[in-house]
């Protein structure tokens, strides 16, 4: 069986070396496994939540698409698309919004953090918080559930969102599945082995710390950033401690074992930091130089990129469109044409197949059951002293007319002249109960044709 892997990349920035080592490179490696069916997409609707600068959104979509392709993503193998090219995603988001508990979303870390910040500042708790931020996890659930992903590679901060996708998907399955599991339950995939690269100052490489090494912008930019890596003040000739040097950690993330060992030995021998930086630059330039060229060629051909993304969207929609059709059907957004057909079909079926089955209890009393067309028991009668009394009741029921049906909890009973003559079994919930009441009415409607 193939494993469906899906992840989204929010399009607000330009990918840096940390994104490459932590997300892009491992995702591309994973997509090459023979049992993997990968879905990678630009989460540009998510980007709108964080960013109201259209130029930045536009630029970032271009740069991120080019980065993934330049880094070696094979669009023949994987499904690579833009979230906003799949209209089924916002549509599913709404279906899910209608089953997602507000209380569940109140607990989302990102929303809670914003509320906490407001409260601390003495502001209104919801000051500046958009519905986009609040509903962020529902949109993400739609991303994941739309393609029934088994595994979702994400950073730790996103685990909760994947769990929410499970919750929301499960709720939908339960409410509308009728025993069918529309949605697969996704798992967050946290790659423990994947490098979290240190940035220039040794803290995690992140745009918010302004300590990143650019990935594809240019050799000079990369060299400049490397020259700003913070080291200790040991001079050339003095022994360095590789295990306490994030320069060495960065080197290791890209070098072969042999090359890493060589640098380690040289640092212990007193290699100067300047030389070590030069080696890091040469290593990265060697590893990434060709991809950088590809990146710049792609950036210069936005129309080609657009075509690639459109092809990806078509591929994704071949799954999304029919699936959303099923989901709309499940919640009741159905064509009236199909309802007309269904009514006739059910009527015919019900009149043909709904049947009374009489039997005798051990104590000699007479009872009957009314079974629907599909064999489901709709009614079990009370006990009658003789077969005649039981027969009279079934005939009276078959004559049609207003039925006195009284519901209680998940069941209902049928009354004739204020005497209860039969009871339904207990159904799963009141919706199932009401459906059974409908089948009962249909089964007992005399047919004209
Ligand atoms: N929220 C994710 C992030 O910021 C991006 C994302 C959007 C995503 N939709 C997704 C990740 C679906 C995985 C699956 O990193």
pLDDT above 90: residue 268: yes
> What's the 151 CA to ligand 1 centre distance in angstroms?
12
**Mean per-residue pLDDT for 65-94?**
97
- pTM of the shown model: 0.75
Q: CA-to-CA distance for 129 and 115, rounded, in angstroms?
A: 8
Lowest mean per-residue pLDDT among 161-165, 308-312, 381-385, 445-449: 445-449
**Mean per-residue pLDDT for 69-91?**
97
Of 154, 163, 168, the one to substitute when testing ligand 1's pocket (max ligand atoms within 8 A of C-beta) is 154
Higher per-residue confidence, 340 vs 152 = 152
Residue 311 pLDDT grade (very low, low, confident, very high; cuts 50, 70, 90): very high
Q: Is there a contact between 64 and 102 (Cβ–Cβ < 8 Å)?
A: no
Lowest mean per-residue pLDDT among 56-70, 235-249, 313-327, 365-379: 365-379
| Strand partners for 42 | 9, 82
**Ligand 1 within 6 A of CB of 84:** no
User: Could you tell me what percent of the chain has a pLDDT over 70?
Assistant: 96
Report pLDDT for 265.
97
Q: What is the mean pLDDT of the chain?
A: 92
CA 369 to chain centre: 45
Please list, in sequence order, all residues whose beta carbon lies within 8 angstroms of the beta carbon of residue 224, skipping any fewer than 6 positions away.
none
pLDDT above 60: residue 449: no
Q: CA-to-CA distance for 432 and 124, rounded, in angstroms?
A: 44
pLDDT above 60: residue 82: yes
Residue keyed to tokens 């159905």: 334
List the residue whose alpha carbon is closest to atom 6 of ligand 1.
Answer: 8
Report pLDDT for 191.
73
Q: What is the 3-state secondary structure (H, E, C) of 174-227?
A: HHHCCCCCCCCCCEEECCCCCCCCECCCCCECCHHHCCCCECCCCHHHHHHHHH
**Mean per-residue pLDDT for 276-282?**
97
pLDDT digits (tens, 9 = 90+) for 397-432: 888 778 899 999 999 999 998 999 999 999 988 888
What residue ranges define each of the domains in the chain, with the CATH number in brackets?
A: 3-100+135-193+301-331 (3.40.50.620), 216-290 (1.10.240.10), 336-443 (2.30.29.80)
């Amino acid at each position: 069986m193939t494993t469906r892997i899906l992840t989204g990349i929010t399009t607000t920035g330009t990918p840096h070396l940390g994104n490459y080592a932590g997300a892009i490179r491992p995702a591309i490696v994973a997509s090459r496994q023979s049992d993997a069916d990968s879905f990678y997409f630009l989460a540009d609707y998510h980007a709108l939540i964080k960013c109201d600068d259209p130029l930045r959104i536009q630029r970032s979509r271009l740069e991120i698409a080019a980065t993934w392709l330049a880094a070696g993503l094979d669009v023949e193998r994987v499904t690579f698309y833009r979230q906003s090219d799949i209209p089924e995603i916002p549509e599913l988001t709404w279906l899910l919004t209608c089953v997602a508990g507000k209380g569940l979303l109140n607990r989302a870390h990102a929303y809670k953090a914003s509320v906490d910040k407001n409260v601390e500042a003495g502001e209104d708790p919801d000051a500046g918080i958009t519905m986009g931020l609040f509903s962020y996890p529902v949109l993400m659930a739609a991303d994941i559930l739309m393609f029934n992903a088994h595994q979702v590679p994400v950073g730790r901060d996103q685990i909760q969102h994947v769990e929410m996708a499970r919750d929301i998907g499960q709720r939908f399955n339960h409410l509308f599945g009728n025993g069918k599991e529309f949605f697969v339950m996704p798992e967050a995939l946290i790659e423990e082995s994947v490098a979290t690269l240190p940035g220039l100052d040794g803290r995690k490489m992140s745009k918010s710390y302004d300590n990143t090494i650019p990935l594809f912008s240019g050799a000079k930019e990369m060299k400049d950033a490397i020259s700003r890596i913070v080291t200790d003040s040991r001079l050339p000739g003095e022994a360095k401690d590789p295990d306490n040097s994030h320069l060495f950690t960065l080197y290791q993330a890209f070098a072969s074992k042999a090359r890493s060992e060589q640098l380690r030995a040289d640092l212990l021998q007193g290699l100067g930091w300047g030389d070590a930086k030069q080696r890091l630059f040469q290593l990265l330039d060697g590893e990434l130089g060709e991809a950088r060229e590809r990146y710049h060629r792609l950036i210069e051909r936005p129309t080609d990129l657009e075509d690639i993304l459109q092809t990806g969207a078509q591929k994704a929609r071949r799954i999304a469109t029919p699936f959303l059709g099923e989901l709309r059907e499940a919640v009741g957004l159905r064509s009236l044409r199909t309802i007309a057909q269904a009514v006739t079909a059910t009527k015919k079926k019900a009149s043909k197949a709904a049947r009374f089955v009489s039997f005798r209890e051990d104590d000699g009393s007479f009872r009957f059951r009314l079974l629907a067309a599909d064999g489901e028991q709709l009614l079990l009668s009370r006990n009658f002293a003789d077969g005649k009394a039981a027969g009279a009741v079934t005939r009276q029921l078959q004559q049609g007319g207003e039925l006195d049906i009284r519901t209680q909890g998940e069941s209902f009973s049928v009354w004739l002249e204020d005497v209860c003559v039969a009871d339904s079994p207990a159904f799963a919930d009141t919706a199932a109960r009401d459906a059974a009441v409908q089948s009962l009415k249909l089964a007992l409607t005399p047919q004209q044709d």
